[in-house]
């Protein structure tokens, strides 16, 4: 007879059922997931997620979504981003940043500010970008960075991205600083590497800081140290006071306000007509008593269609 093994699962401790968004200033050297787990542990939160990874070398804005806020995290993942990046000319590395091993050196003393300004226009607007091997993208079920660590390189498809703004803010050869406003899926390391190639000397990222994600900027960011201090000073309430409401993540969208009947129907998954609603795009939806109830989209009939509703997504 086959042996049937019955596993008795211990009761898992449920965390606190909190909802909101924390604007974490991710520290240097920590992965985004490690930062998320540390903060989730501090909050004793039942459910939390981040809105797009930052490299361990990178610092800056990492919005963390708790509870119901995870239902809108995809919108922040898809949002435009801004970065402050320092590019070092004359050195290439395995990872295109300072964490990697140096793979090449080239004299870059002859490159001046005018040279950098001259090549930037070719990297603005819609461009094709080849994702780096050191990335979390998958190839046949394996992360590219896992393959790269084995010394392997596989073919990748170039992806279309948009660089809305690329501004030189400081030049001190062989390094210079850029402000980058870009679409989702942009690899700033690859951008720096490509600029170095265009200048004929190679380059890598020596510093990277994210300064904006969708409607959020550096104002209101909280460091790990500030979280610890808030916990020591005011306990869990001190931490909760640092959370932003869920709808803050969609603050760059117009709002529509529904009466009781429309609120009922939209919560049942039906599109509703709203006077003076926008004619297209995404909207924040508020029900009776100005309660935020979810995210919607104007459909082809001009109705407000529910897309991510807090009330009926469990």
For residue 19, the SS3 value is coil
Distances (CA, A) of 142 to 90, 122, 186, 246: 32, 33, 20, 34
What's the confidence (pLDDT) of residue 313? 39
Q: Which residues are catalytically annotated?
A: 55
**Which of the four pLDDT bands, split at 50, 70 and 90, describes residue 221?**
very high
Q: Which residues of 76-104 are buried (b: 16+ CB within 10 A; e: fewer)?
A: bbebbbbbbbbbbbbbbbbbbbbbbeeee
Closest alpha carbon to 96 in 209, 210, 194: 194
Q: Where in the chain is the domain with CATH 3.30.2350.10?
A: 20-79+216-245, 84-208
Q: With bands split at pLDDT 50, 70 and 90, how would you rate the model's confidence at 311? A: low
pLDDT band at 274 (very low <50, low <70, confident <90, very high): very high
Start-end ranges of CATH 2.30.130.10 in the chain? 253-309
20-79+216-245 belongs to CATH 3.30.2350.10: yes
pLDDT reported for residue 13: 60
The pLDDT value recorded for residue 2 is 38
Above 60 in pLDDT, residue 89? yes
Backbone angles phi, psi at 113, to 5 degrees: -60, -40
Percent of the chain scoring above 70 in pLDDT: 94
pLDDT of 63 > 90? The answer is: yes
Element housing 207 (H / E): strand 203-213
Domain 253-309: state its class.
Answer: mainly beta
Is the model more confident about 29 or about 157? Answer: 29
Q: In the numeric block, which tokens belong to residue 259? A: 């009466």
The span from the CA of 130 to the CA of 79, in Å, is: 20
Output the six-digit token pair for 304: 């407000």
Provide the CATH number for the domain formed by 84-208 in this structure.
3.30.2350.10
Mean pLDDT of 298-302: 93
């Amino acid at each position: 007879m086959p042996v049937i093994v019955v596993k008795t699962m211990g009761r898992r401790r449920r965390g606190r059922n909190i909802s909101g968004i924390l604007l974490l200033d991710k520290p240097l050297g920590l992965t985004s997931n490690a930062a998320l787990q540390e903060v989730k542990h501090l909050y004793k939160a039942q459910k939390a997620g981040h809105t797009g990874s930052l490299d361990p070398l990178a610092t800056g804005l990492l919005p963390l979504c708790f509870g119901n806020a995870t239902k809108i995290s995809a919108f922040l993942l898809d949002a435009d981003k801004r970065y402050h990046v320092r590019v070092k000319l004359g050195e290439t590395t395995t990872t295109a940043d300072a964490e990697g091993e140096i793979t090449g050196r080239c004299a870059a003393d002859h490159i001046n500010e005018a040279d950098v300004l001259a090549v930037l226009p070719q990297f603005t607007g819609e461009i094709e970008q080849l994702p780096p091997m050191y990335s979390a993208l998958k190839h046949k079920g394996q992360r590219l960075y896992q393959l790269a660590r084995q010394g392997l390189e596989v073919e990748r498809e170039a992806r279309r991205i948009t660089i809305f703004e690329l501004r030189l803010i400081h030049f001190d050869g062989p390094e210079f600083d850029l402000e980058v406003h870009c679409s989702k899926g942009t690899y700033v390391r690859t951008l720096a590497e490509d600029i170095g190639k265009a200048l004929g000397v190679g380059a890598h990222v020596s510093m990277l800081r994210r300064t904006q994600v969708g409607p959020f900027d550096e104002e209101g960011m909280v460091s790990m140290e500030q979280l610890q201090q808030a916990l020591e000073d005011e306990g869990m309430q001190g931490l909760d006071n640092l959370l932003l409401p869920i709808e803050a993540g969609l603050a760059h969208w117009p709002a529509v306000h529904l009466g009781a009947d429309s609120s009922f129907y939209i919560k049942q998954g039906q599109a509703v007509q709203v006077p003076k609603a926008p004619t297209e795009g995404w909207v924040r939806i508020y029900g009776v008593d100005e309660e935020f109830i979810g995210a919607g989209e104007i459909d082809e009939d001009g109705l407000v269609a529910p897309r991510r509703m807090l009330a009926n997504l469990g």
